[in-house]
């Protein structure tokens, strides 16, 4: 296990061109990763994601939450969200993400996928509220899931797996040139929590 993990080169770019994605592998022992999974499951204010798209009220099965340094507000699909104040554990995790990446973050979007039926469609995190080309640090706890990148022009696809207690960083022009997606899968019956630490322009 650890032998395999030690073989991970964090400087290796998973993308062949047009961006930089580094996979740091597992940052935590299984016990610590389980601890964070349980704390996050029980202390985060999970809510369904809501949107009004073409007059239709859409509610996701996947649950979301948003935390930040300030009560930032963010409007999309005719709903406005406000960032909640950090919990102690989120601050611990933010610090670890900052130490690993050498950047600072001021907000975190969390997603709870109850099982493999739930996923996230292709998108890029290129909102104007995010600093251009600023790094996004993605931490995962719980069920291991497949994660895909697709180039916007060439359509080239890159596959990776996000392990329990792992960190993946997307930076440089990744969001400009690549989409990413968490595909649904029948193989996964357990829950997964993902945290994306971000830097908003405020």
CB nearer to ligand AKG: give 87 or 124. 124
Q: How far is the CB of 138 from Fe ion (least distance, A)?
A: 8
CB–CB of 103/136 below 8 Å?
Answer: no
- Residue 113's SS3 state is strand
Q: How far is the CB of 123 from Fe ion (least distance, A)?
A: 6
CB nearer to Fe ion: give 86 or 122. 122
Measured CA to CA, the distance from residue 162 to residue 26 in angstroms comes to 9
Q: How far is the CB of 66 from ligand AKG (least distance, A)?
A: 10
Q: How far is the CB of 112 from ligand AKG (least distance, A)?
A: 9
**Burial (CB count within 10 angstroms: exposed 0-12, middle 13-18, buried 19+), residue 55:** exposed
Residue with tokens 């994605």: 21
Is residue 144 close enough to count as binding Fe ion by CB under 5 A?
Answer: no
Q: Which stretch binds Fe ion (CB under 5 A): 8-16, 124-132, 149-157, 161-169?
A: 124-132
Do the bridges between strand 20-26 and strand 166-171 make them parallel or antiparallel, or are there none, so unpaired?
antiparallel
Please give the residue ranges that form the binding site for Fe ion (CB under 5 A). 125
């Amino acid at each position: 296990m650890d032998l395999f993990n030690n073989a991970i080169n964090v400087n290796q770019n998973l993308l062949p061109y047009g961006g930089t994605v580094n996979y740091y592998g597992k940052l935590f022992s299984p016990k610590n990763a389980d601890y964070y999974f349980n704390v996050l499951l029980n202390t985060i204010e999970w809510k369904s994601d809501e949107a009004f798209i073409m007059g239709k009220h859409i509610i996701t099965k996947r649950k979301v939450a948003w935390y930040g340094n300030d009560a930032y507000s963010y409007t999309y699909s005719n709903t406005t969200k406000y960032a909640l104040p950090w919990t102690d554990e989120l601050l611990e995790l933010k610090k670890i993400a900052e130490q690993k990446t050498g950047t600072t973050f001021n907000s975190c979007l969390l997603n709870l996928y109850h099982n493999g039926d739930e996923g996230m469609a292709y998108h890029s995190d290129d909102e104007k509220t995010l600093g251009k080309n600023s790094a996004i640090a993605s931490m995962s706890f719980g069920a291991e899931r497949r994660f895909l990148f697709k180039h916007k022009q060439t359509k080239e696809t890159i596959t990776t797996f996000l392990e329990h207690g792992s960190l993946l960083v997307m930076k440089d022009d990744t969001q400009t040139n690549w989409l990413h997606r968490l595909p649904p899968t029948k193989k996964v019956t357990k829950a997964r929590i993902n945290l994306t630490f971000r830097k908003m322009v405020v």
